[in-house]
Amino acid sequence: MKLLKATTLAEVAGLIGAKAIGSDSLAVTGINEIHVVEPGDIAFVDHPKYYAKTLASEASVIIIDKEVDCPEGKGLLVHPHPFDAFNELTKHLQKELEGAMNATPDIDSSAVVMPGAHVGKYVTIGANTVIHPGAVIYDHCVVGQNVTIHANAVIGSDAFYFKRKPHHHEKLRSVGRVVIEDDVEIGAACTIDRGSTSDTIIGKGSKLDNQVHVGHDTRIGERCLFAAQVGIAGCVEIGDGVVMWGQVGCAANVSIGDGTIIYAQSGIIKSLEAGQTYFGSPAVEARAKMREIALIAQLSRKK
């Protein structure tokens, strides 16, 4: 999430009641989750296991729950509850951002939004796009040209992102978007979550069958094909021309290379190389898995 205008370490410290370590005038230009941070961004960390990774990231400012050595050129915001502080900051910044925007959806005159569909605020819909009855387009979504969104699809619902606390689960506020590029088709009853702080992206020319789920901050490349009931967790990077057959499940924080094919009902738990075909749970190279199945069948017959 990029800010309307740059602010400073000292100003952010005042907003969330944190102790600033570093140059008070250090520029802050955005706020992002650790997997998508860029120079100028604020990130947060609240567990020693992730201190080193976060401090070494591209983030310029880190909200942290303990005073540690501040890396050169960065700033720290020490707060007893970094997750809560991050939530409060995104709430403030989103309110500021929306105050400068036109809330009325920008829908091209050639687009068709059928009766019963809902289009939220700050939404953009491109030329020759068709939104079928019952589809819901949440606030801030961007839909390109020649897109078809079928009945009862939900685009832009909140990220499934919770912090476990002693007596409840605290939800991370979702302030990202869904961006659907040109020539995409979204099947009936698909659900696509918006990014927690950045964008969930469906690449140009990709086609999603019915009942496909795409988690927050996942980025799908161009010309991909996903069959029914594919489920993709958050923060997944999927290349161009990837094919997933029915009921493939994909864990969070993995990458899938260009041209990869995954057979039906496979489970992806680690990153997959480009141009290969995979099968099984956990998914492995398909020919190796077929040989394994054949050998098991032979052993069974010998008993």
What is the count of structural domains for the chain?
2
297 located within any domain? no
Kindly state whether residue 296 falls inside one of the protein's structural domains. no
Give the domain range for residue 262: 106-289
Closest CA to 282 of 253, 300, 299, 262: 262
Contact 203, 244 (CB under 8 A): no
148, 230: one domain: yes
Indicate the pLDDT class of residue 299, thresholds 50, 70 and 90: confident
Same domain, 178 and 271: yes
Angle at 94 between CA 65 and CA 18, to 5 degrees: 25
Nearest to 151 by CA among 182, 111, 116: 116
The CATH number covering residue 8 comes to 3.40.1390.10
Give 267's DSSP letter: E
* Residues 261-279 pLDDT 10s: 999 999 999 999 999 999 9
pLDDT digits (tens, 9 = 90+) for 16-54: 999 999 999 999 999 998 888 999 999 999 999 999 999
Euclidean distance between CA atoms 91 and 138, whole angstroms:
17
Could you say which of 99, 128, 152 is where a domain stops? 99
Q: Are residues 55 and 13 in the same domain?
A: yes
pLDDT digits (tens, 9 = 90+) for 190-228: 999 999 999 999 999 999 999 999 999 999 999 999 999
Q: Are residues 45 and 114 in the same domain?
A: no
| pTM, 2 dp | 0.92
Q: Which residues are catalytic?
A: 216
Tell whether 193 is covered by a domain: yes
Domain with residue 253: its CATH number is 2.160.10.10
User: pLDDT (tens digit, 9 = 90+) per residue, 64-89?
Assistant: 999 999 999 999 999 999 999 999 99
Contact 216, 159 (CB under 8 A): yes
Residue 299: inside a domain, yes or no? no
Clarify whether residues 162 and 211 are in a common domain. yes
Closest CA to 207 of 178, 187, 237: 187
Q: Which residues pair with residue 36 across a beta bridge? A: none
Nearest CA to 55 out of 74, 36, 80, 81 is that of: 74
Q: Determine whether 243 is exposed, middle or buried from the number of CB atoms within 10 Å of its CB (0-12, 13-18, 19+).
A: middle
Q: Is 122 helix (H, G, I), strand (E, B) or coil?
A: coil
Query: Residue 303: its pLDDT value, please?
Result: 60
Residue 302 domain flag: no
- If asked whether residues 175 and 268 sit together in one domain, one would say yes
Per-residue model confidence (pLDDT) at position 9: 96
Asked if 58 and 200 sit in the same domain, the reply is no
> Which of 65, 99, 133 is the endpoint of a domain?
99
pLDDT for residue 227: 98
Of the residues 53, 72, 99, which one is the last residue of a structural domain?
Answer: 99
